[in-house]
Amino acid sequence: MSNEIMIPFHRPLIGEEEIARVAECLRSGWLTTGQRTVEFEKKFAEYIGAPHAIAVNSCTAAMHLALAALGIKRGDEVITSPYTFVATCEAIQYLGAKPVFVDIDPLTLNLNPDLLPQALSERTRAIVPVHFAGHPADMPLIMALAQAYDLKVMEDAAHALEAEIKWGVAENGDNPLGKGKIGKIGDATCFSFYATKNLTTGEGGMVTCANADLAAHIRRLSLHGLSRDAWKRYASTGSWYYEVLEQGYKYNLTDIAAALGLAQLSKVKAMWQRRAEIVARYNAAFADMPELETPTVKPGMCHAWHLYTLRLHLYRLTLDRNEFLDELYRRGINCSVHFIPLHMMPHYHKAYGLHPGDFPVAEREYCRVLSLPLYPALGDEEVKRIITTVQQIIAAHARQRRVSYAVREAALV
Ligand SMILES: *Cc1c(COP(=O)(O)O)cnc(C)c1O
């Protein structure tokens, strides 16, 4: 066991600004959804460049409401990636719809759009791309397919706050389908403000969309299906009157959380820059190590860098991914794995008859992937220690000395 202090997988960047904003909210006497939430929604919509933003208490809630408002219901099929957190799928299941998985692209670990057509059925109503680690999914192709088959697109952008598609393949005159900042492309996009995400409110989420009716519907669903218009209509008689227009949910964001969100939003760019700097260091250190595969960024994509995934070339190592993680932990570095594919989960076997082996690319990548710590509160010394530790473990467990690769590669030329 190392004597050094453990480097945690994540540590949020909470400064005096966040503390002051939350304290101000607490002192104001208004704790639940109010002016700070309204301001947070406005500033978030401006940051994304989306016409509407609706704050809720998690990304899971955001996805549930977005799919509900897009008309997804019992018996519908919704196509998504098995390489995600269970929340993506739960949102589909809450509505009685069936998640249909397609395997992933081994380069980005996002759902492989070439496999989408074969997953379509009479019942397919929507596609839910997940922007894994912050690398945008192939939205130009997904949007083109959605348009051709009249499907809704709801994006899980839990990792993708700063992500952008600067250019795409499906350019369509002055309608650049599937291009732009994530949050402006699909019918609705859902963000997470969970404790480890790029922007945090402790727990929280946001839906962005362009359609005003859709936004109003999501907002109504987020608070018991109550009508705001009724509040306005009867405002002169007091604020006690409301009408329940439909069955809704209790998903509203508190002003305490929104206060935290406002402070975090002002630092989003600086926090991204610091993560990008750490990514550059990791990449430079690991690029010429044949046992490791560093993350790919496809041309034209701006990566949000929520996760730094490292993939092991297991055939070049004498230890597997789990043992690699154990070694890192023993030396004081806490890493993680994103994600255990959903089709390998007992529930998905029971509910849909899925088995290990059904999505071989997802499974193969899962077995060799790990996520290194990546957050703005990570210091230069810590980054250095993580790099050295990874290099030491690799050196101790490489199947052959590096020099023999060089010799073999030279012989191949
Ligand atoms: C974190 C996460 C979610 C869930 O976000 P919550 O805000 O915790 O509901 C959904 N999808 C992905 C890919 C995530 O990483």
At CA 4, angle to CA 310 and CA 306, rounded to 5?
Answer: 30
Closest-CA residue, ligand 1 atom 8, reads: 194
**Which pLDDT value is given to residue 241?**
84
**Is the Cβ–Cβ distance between 149 and 120 less than 8 Å?**
yes
Percent of the chain surpassing pLDDT 90:
88
**Which pLDDT value is given to residue 174?**
46
Across the chain, mean pLDDT equals 93
Task: Give the Cβ contact number of residue 168 at 10 Å.
Answer: 22
Quickly state the pLDDT bin for 178 (edges 50, 70, 90): confident
pLDDT at 3 exceeding the cut of 70: no
374 Rama class: left (phi>0) / alpha (psi -120 to 50) / beta: beta
Quickly state the pLDDT bin for 123 (edges 50, 70, 90): very high
**Which pLDDT value is given to residue 404?**
55
Report how far ligand 1's centroid is from the alpha carbon of 205 (Å): 9
Report how far ligand 1's centroid is from the alpha carbon of 157 (Å): 8
**Which pLDDT value is given to residue 411?**
57
Question: What distance in Å separates the CA atoms of residue 114 and residue 107, rounded to the nearest whole number?
Answer: 13
**Is the Cβ–Cβ distance between 186 and 144 less than 8 Å?**
no
More confident residue, 400 or 259: 259
362-391 mean pLDDT: 98
Question: What distance in Å separates the CA atoms of residue 199 and residue 305, rounded to the nearest whole number?
Answer: 12
Question: Is the CB of 87 within 6 Å of ligand 1?
Answer: yes
25-29 mean pLDDT: 97
Question: What distance in Å separates the CA atoms of residue 254 and residue 185, rounded to the nearest whole number?
Answer: 27
Residue to substitute in 10, 56, 60, 154 for testing ligand 1 pocket (most ligand atoms within 8 angstroms of CB):
60
Question: What distance in Å separates the CA atoms of residue 38 and residue 192, rounded to the nearest whole number?
Answer: 17
For residue 94, the SS3 value is helix
Question: Is the CB of 37 within 6 Å of ligand 1?
Answer: no
pLDDT at 176 exceeding the cut of 80: no
Closest ligand 1 atom to 132 CA: 13
**Which pLDDT value is given to residue 234?**
53
206-225 mean pLDDT: 97
Whole-model pTM: value is 0.94
pLDDT at 366 exceeding the cut of 90: yes
Q: What are the pLDDT digits (tens) for 319-339?
A: 999 999 999 999 999 999 999
Beta bridge partners of 287: none
Q: What are the pLDDT digits (tens) for 83-103?
A: 999 999 999 999 999 999 999
Lowest mean pLDDT among 75-84, 208-217, 392-401: 392-401
Closest-CA residue, ligand 1 atom 2, reads: 158
Closest CA to 12 of 377, 402, 393, 410: 377
For residue 101, the SS3 value is strand
Question: Is the CB of 7 within 6 Å of ligand 1?
Answer: no
Residue 166 annotated to the active site: no
351-365 mean pLDDT: 96
Question: Is the CB of 158 within 6 Å of ligand 1?
Answer: yes
**Which pLDDT value is given to residue 409?**
59
Report how far ligand 1's centroid is from the alpha carbon of 193 (Å): 8
Task: Give the Cβ contact number of residue 69 at 10 Å.
Answer: 26
**Which pLDDT value is given to residue 1?**
47
Closest ligand 1 atom to 130 CA: 13
Set 98, 179, 181, 197: catalytic member? 197
**Which pLDDT value is given to residue 242?**
87
Q: From residue 69, how far is each of 19, 79, 248, 250 by CA, in Å? A: 35, 17, 11, 15
Residue to substitute in 63, 80, 85 for testing ligand 1 pocket (most ligand atoms within 8 angstroms of CB):
85
Closest CA to 367 of 344, 390, 389: 344
pLDDT at 273 exceeding the cut of 50: yes
pLDDT at 240 exceeding the cut of 60: yes
Quickly state the pLDDT bin for 4 (edges 50, 70, 90): confident
Question: Is the CB of 101 within 6 Å of ligand 1?
Answer: no
**Which pLDDT value is given to residue 230?**
52
- 285: tokens are 């250190």
pLDDT at 410 exceeding the cut of 70: no
Question: Is the CB of 205 within 6 Å of ligand 1?
Answer: yes
Quickly state the pLDDT bin for 65 (edges 50, 70, 90): very high
**Is the Cβ–Cβ distance between 163 and 134 less than 8 Å?**
yes
